[in-house]
Structure 1
Amino acid sequence: MPKPYPKEFRDDVVRVARNREPGQHLRQIAADFGISESCLTNWLRNADVEDGTKPGTTNEESRENRELRNRIRLLEQENEVLRRAAAYLSQANLPGKWALPS
């Protein structure tokens, strides 16, 4: 996978594309910066979401969701360990094969 463009570069390209003169096509702007038109279109769409002008999930929300999913996974694992420990300890306290003779 190619290395992503720096954020400053993407921001500059989006700014130029948003402030383009009437009649100037995105294809030409993308060619001037050496990127594909689809890449520029994606950058513009993502910038609109980040700015709140279009609905969607921002980068910050995506990062937070990823962290929360990881935290949930960890808590579920801890819960399973505690559940198994409780089951094991409750078996140890039952009278039966492990009980000491009186």
Structure 2
Amino acid sequence: MTKRTPPYSPEVRERAVRMVFEHRDEYASQYEAILSIAAKIGCSRETLRHWVRQAERDQGLRPGPMSAEQKKIKALEREVRELRQANEILRKASAYFAQAELDRRFKP
């Protein structure tokens, strides 16, 4: 699996989120601030909205998992998936060898 580089650097993300927080009062709503700043930064409004929501979760302003928690959840889900695959392989191997043992015992 190839790892793709994100189109926006962490510095750009942090700057855009900081701009939304700093200039929120100049707009009628946070979403209008996001629309305006997204156009200036050159990203989509949804992308910036996701960044802002995650920053709010990381700061404890919004309920939900923080960035570190999300990384840990993702790693644990990957580990569970790998362990399930390993268990399936072992289950099939066990069945194969059990059948081979039965075939060997009853051959005349």
Question: Under TM normalisation by the shorter chain, which class is it?
Answer: 0.5 to 0.7
Q: Offset of 1:64 from its aligned partner?
A: 2.2
Q: Offset of 1:34 from its aligned partner?
A: 4.7
- Residue 23 of structure 2 aligns to a residue whose secondary structure is coil
Give the match for residue 70 of structure 2: 62
Equivalences, count: 95
1:43-66 deviation per Cα after TM superposition (whole angstroms, max 9, x unaligned): 322210122211123333332222
Query: Are 2:99 and 1:96 equivalent residues in the alignment?
Result: no
**Cα distance in 1 between the residues matched to 2:10 and 2:48:** 13
TM-score by length of 1: 0.64
Query: Are 2:24 and 1:16 equivalent residues in the alignment?
Result: no
Q: Offset of 1:15 from its aligned partner?
A: 1.9
Relative to its length, the structure with more helix (as a share) is 2
Unaligned runs of 5+ in 2: 1-5, 28-32
Q: Rg larger in 1 or in 2?
A: 1
AA matched with 2:106 = G
Give the match for residue 77 of structure 1: 85
- Residue 49 of structure 1 aligns to a residue whose secondary structure is helix
TM-score by length of 2: 0.61
